[in-house]
């Protein structure tokens, strides 16, 4: 555990999932009487990630220029347990034990999506060929016969237009729209991406939505971000 009363969290990768992996730490440190800050060196790919993940977190006291003493600077050891729990223990925190990352935004229910399948083929970190995505996603579509299918279409960020599926688009104007859509839908199909980790945080141990996260064979033994409330599938070749 950090030997200072001030805990400074930082990571350098910047993605949504990269930031979400440390979201259980602030509450646990606060329970021990520490004040928790986000380092000014902490990387985020856009302001919305910072606002959702850190600004809304009630256990964050602000930002700090001090040297980080939590987050990426703490060596990760698997320990054969859940990814988030391992991060807590690696930081010397034994007063919690969460299985999933957390957010403090309360998603709103969108009635028109409650019986829908949503899919998102975008990812910054992984870029599988279209030929793998199409049959893999279609195999999951077939598990839900007669169920409406919609593609998540981002207004302010780059979309992956291929492979092409002939489905209606559901427009996402903000990260909060994305939270609401994931919370409301029957199932989400996505890649090993920030959307998958966000869905994990939203679902927790609730029965819905079904989360299908696709990965390539090289990630079969990779335990980071492979959460138990997801259905992790290798691409259909």
pLDDT tens digits, residue range 23-73? 999 999 999 999 999 999 999 999 999 999 999 999 999 999 999 999 999
140 alpha-carbon distance from chain centroid: 20
Per-residue tokens: 107: 């998603």
* Whether the predicted pLDDT of 220 surpasses 90: no
Count of helices and strands (H, E) across the chain: 7, 10
Average pLDDT over the chain reads 90
CATH class of domain segment(s) 111-234: alpha beta
pLDDT tens digits, residue range 110-119? 999 999 999 9
Segment 196-220 shows an average pLDDT of 89
Residue ranges of the domains in the chain?
6-90, 111-234
Per-residue tokens: 48: 């919305």
Angle at 36 between CA 34 and CA 37, to 5 degrees: 150
**Stated pTM of the model:** 0.92
* Whether the predicted pLDDT of 218 surpasses 70: no
Q: How far apart are CA 109 and CA 99, in angstroms?
A: 24
* 15-19, 77-81, 95-99, 215-219: range with highest mean pLDDT: 15-19
Question: What whole-number percentage of the chain has pLDDT above 70?
Answer: 93
97 alpha-carbon distance from chain centroid: 18
């Amino acid at each position: 555990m950090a030997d200072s009363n001030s805990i400074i969290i930082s990571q350098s990768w910047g993605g949504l999932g990269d930031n979400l992996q440390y979201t259980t730490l602030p509450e646990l440190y606060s329970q021990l009487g520490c004040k928790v800050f986000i380092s000014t060196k902490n990387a985020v790919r856009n302001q919305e990630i910072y606002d959702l993940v850190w600004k809304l977190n009630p256990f964050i006291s602000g930002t700090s220029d001090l040297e980080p003493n939590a987050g990426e600077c703490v060596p990760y050891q698997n320990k054969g347990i859940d990814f988030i729990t391992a991060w807590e223990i690696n930081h010397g925190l034994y007063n919690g034990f969460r299985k999933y990352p957390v957010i403090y935004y309360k998603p709103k229910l969108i009635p028109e999506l409650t019986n829908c399948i949503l899919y998102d083929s975008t990812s910054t970190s992984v870029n599988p060929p279209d030929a793998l995505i199409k049959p893999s996603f279609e195999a999951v579509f077939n598990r839900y016969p007669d169920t409406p299918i919609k593609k998540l279409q981002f207004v302010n960020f780059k979309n992956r237009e291929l492979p092409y599926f002939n489905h209606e688009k559901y427009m996402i104007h903000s990260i909060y729209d994305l939270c609401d859509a994931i919370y409301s839908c029957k199932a989400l199909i996505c890649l090993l991406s920030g959307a998958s980790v966000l869905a994990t945080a939203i679902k927790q141990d609730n029965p819905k939505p079904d989360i299908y996260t696709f990965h390539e064979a090289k990630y079969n033994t990779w335990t980071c971000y492979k959460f138990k409330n997801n259905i992790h599938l290798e691409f259909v070749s």
